[in-house]
A and B are shown apart, each in its own frame.
Chain A
């Protein structure tokens, strides 16, 4: 009878320092993460290669429905608009559109994507500081909501609407002091200085501009719910004044995005899930502020939310493999993964949770996780306690759905496939991996550089 051999784990030893602080933190991984929505991680890697991104449609829908419930049970008129910049892979956008989300875009590139996805023009919110006259004309013709960022854009829009004799539906982006610093004042018109009110006066005096909404986006990864109460109050103050001075009812208040996901920020004392307020807590302060502000029942504005990160981060996974193990000059273990900051851009600001995808022993090591790039800054985790990983072992990086698939870089390597697991547990490629041709196809070679002799 042949005896089955034991599973091998790289030999490792660790000095025990009872009672001392450990700068690497405590061990966090107790069980391998072998399946995503019932689909084996190993199978996914065999099918789509390593590394690859995997998105759970089930998690997106569940997260979205929970956010909608949090707001709709507290306020009568709520509309979510999917923040394209957070993840604009068409299949991901369409999950949100199927759930009822409008599109919130910040460039003509994103605007075009939303139109091509089939979003009606009048359900697109056009934000962002760069809108050319040509961009504004497209938005105007499609009857989209144009959120004006600065006076130069406002004057362009006044000129354009006069030329075309067509009315634009506009809102202004308002920046304000919400008690969170540094203040985000580079976008929009300032509330405290009266700049926002000046812009409103200008819009109200324009023949072809209809002031329909007020918008703000007070920050990102906001951990203080009270900041949203202040923002909702300041927007409401403007809305009530517009009603009083111009007898014009503001149709909507757009509180933007900025709700955090459960990721752990670099340098944070506590893990993300222990720090962040729930979506219900944000909903509570925002809706309470608006409901108690003193609007007449018929003037109660639609509440628009452009939540991105909190909707999609949990649904994204990055699957990868160990390329090599080495030891640094100071004795620390270094593990080199086949993914780095090129595709996991958020490693710059998060301490991502990383779990081995196969069985491991109880022994752990303090290590640095590096990516595959030939760059010193390619550090996925500068200190993490993980089980001994063998070459070729797989790992799962959690909560990577937001910003990675839009901010990733094509540097040295090519970007991998993105797969989606649908609600029936079937997986689909939703973005093919890049090839050398993807990169070289737009390049052009001048005639005199076509040949050389070495």
Chain B
């Protein structure tokens, strides 16, 4: 699974997909995940970074992460390879 590298992500969570013109809004945790995915971080690294920054149990985040990735897939923002 790889996120499109050309996605533009603003600080406020506005996302623009230049390949088809779609735009999205995401919350702070969502924007952090997308930035971390874009920088090529692994799931383990993302979990670590998020748990340092936010008050969240690792198991809770893992479930939410899976769900978020499925949303990104629904919106064609990631490639399954």
Contact = CB atoms under 8 A, between A and B. Distances in A.
A15 B29 contact: no
A391 interface: yes
B54 to A, nearest CB: 4
A363 B26 contact: yes
Interface string B70-81: 111011010000
Contacts of A15: 22-24, 75
Contact of B28 (A5, A327, A361): A361
Contacts of B52: 5
Contacts of B67: 10-11, 325, 327
Given A327-B70, A361-B28, A11 B64 contact: yes
B29 A10 contact: yes
Interface of B: 13, 15, 22-30, 33, 52-56, 60-61, 64-65, 67-68, 70-72, 74-75, 77
A392 to B, nearest CB: 9
22 contacts: A5-B53, A5-B55, A6-B55, A8-B29, A8-B54, A8-B56, A8-B61, A9-B29, A11-B29, A11-B67, A11-B68, A12-B30, A13-B25, A13-B68, A14-B26, A16-B23, A331-B74, A361-B27, A362-B27, A363-B25, A363-B30, A391-B60
Nearest to B16: A16
A12 B53 contact: no
Interface in A189-213: none
Contacts, number: 73
Interface of A: 5-16, 325, 327, 331, 361-363, 388, 390-391
Given A11-B65, A12-B71, A13-B30, A6 B53 contact: yes
Interface of A is mostly: loop
A14 B24 contact: yes
A327 B33 CA distance: 19
A12 B71 CA distance: 8
A361 B64 CA distance: 16
Contacts of A5: 52-55
A1 to B, nearest CB: 15
A247 to B, nearest CB: 75
Contacts of B54: 5-8
Given A5-B55, A10-B67, A331-B74, 18 more contacts: A5-B52, A5-B54, A6-B54, A7-B54, A8-B61, A11-B29, A11-B65, A11-B68, A12-B30, A12-B71, A13-B26, A15-B23, A16-B24, A16-B25, A361-B28, A362-B27, A363-B13, A363-B27
A363 B12 CA distance: 10
A9 B27 CA distance: 8
A433 to B, nearest CB: 28
